[in-house]
Amino acid sequence: MMPLISSTSMLQAARQQQYAVGAFNVHTLEMLQAVVEAAEETRSPLIIQSTVGTVKHLGPDYIAAAARVAADRTGLPIALHLDHCTDFDLIVKCIRAGYTSVMIDASMHPYEENAARTSKVMEVAEAAGVNVEAELGKVGGVEDDIIVDERDALLADPNECKAFIERTGVHTLAPAIGTAHGIYKGEPNIDFDRIAKIAELVEAPLVLHGGSGIPAEQVKRAVSLGMAKMNVATELRIAFSDAIKDVFAAHPDENDPRKYMVPAKAAVKRLAIEKMQLCGCVGKA
């Protein structure tokens, strides 16, 4: 029986070997199965993610059960991650349900408060062998109900990143470096020099948020500089929904989810494989 694993060692290996692990936000069983099949076909390590909204929608126990089945069936290194959580009690609930990685997002608070909240999560997570991700600076855009005005998005300070990790011991860090959640209106304005400076000062795996819509060359460059995990949400949701819309456009009377979910699942799988190839994690499982 292969259990879900903490993402810490998976991401440390990625950082050392300069690739990134794809972390995919899923909202339905079919989406979860699609990213698992993508990992299986490409022999990639995998992080299955759910936002707080999805945890509330499906229940952490259902999600964890499905992820456990995936790990057991495939024998692949798979972690289950809670994305952008501001609520300590929900983090504890997800860890109890079987999540092996959690993000405490206290980036909307001043530095001191962010560090204190992260340290509190570290205490419970370390005892459970669970990976913790924190955020410094602010990633722009919309993620469930967290909204950051793109103009206000503050980028992470490299020295603060170093001090934050030393103080909290957090395993993985998402520094704001110019990406945004959702689909970009133009091209993202990624501060590659900042990524390089942070990576120089910090050994921990870095997390690239806002993976949807970043041009391929820019993903590769960010990964080569130290981004060891790439989060992808919006593009997967769009691929899934567009495929279903196409089915209903062609067959308005279709009423069998076992039919209209098939192309939706295939679209998510295709996209996940593309992202895994960009991340360079293919064959690393």
Spatial contact of 35 and 239, defined as CB atoms under 8 Å apart? no
Q: Is 123 exposed, middle or buried (0-12, 13-18, 19+ CB in 10 A)?
A: exposed
Least gap, CB of 233 to ligand 13P (angstroms): 3
Residues 77-136 touching ligand 13P, rule: CB under 6 A, are 83-84
15 contributes a contact to ligand 13P by CB under 6 A = no
Least gap, CB of 49 to ligand 13P (angstroms): 7
Nearer of residues 26 and 199 to ligand 13P, judged by Cβ: 26
232 contributes a contact to ligand 13P by CB under 6 A = yes
**CB atoms < 10 A from the CB of 112, how many?**
9
CA-CA distance, 10 to 46, in Å (whole number)?
A: 9
Spatial contact of 106 and 117, defined as CB atoms under 8 Å apart? yes
Among 48, 70, 234, 284, indicate the residue that binds ligand 13P (CB under 6 A): 234
| Catalytic residue (one of 61, 72, 83, 246) | 83
Pairing of strands 131-136, 172-175: parallel
Which residue from 140, 134, 156, 46 is spatially nearest to 85, judged by alpha carbons?
134
Q: Sketch the per residue contact string, 147 through 186, with ligand 13P: x for CB under 6 A, - otherwise.
A: ----------------------------------xx----
Nearer of residues 81 and 197 to ligand 13P, judged by Cβ: 81
Q: Which helix (H) or strand (E) holds 62?
A: helix 60-74
Biggest CA–CA distance in the chain, Å, is 58
Among 102, 233, 243, 278, indicate the residue that binds ligand 13P (CB under 6 A): 233
Is 83 one of the catalytic residues? yes
243 annotated to a ligand binding site: no
Nearer of residues 6 and 25 to ligand 13P, judged by Cβ: 25
CA-CA distance, 10 to 45, in Å (whole number)?
A: 7
211 contributes a contact to ligand 13P by CB under 6 A = yes
Summarize the annotated binding site for Zn(2+) as residue ranges.
84, 105, 135, 181, 209
Q: Which residues bind ligand 13P (CB under 6 A)?
A: 25, 83-84, 143, 181-182, 209-212, 231-235
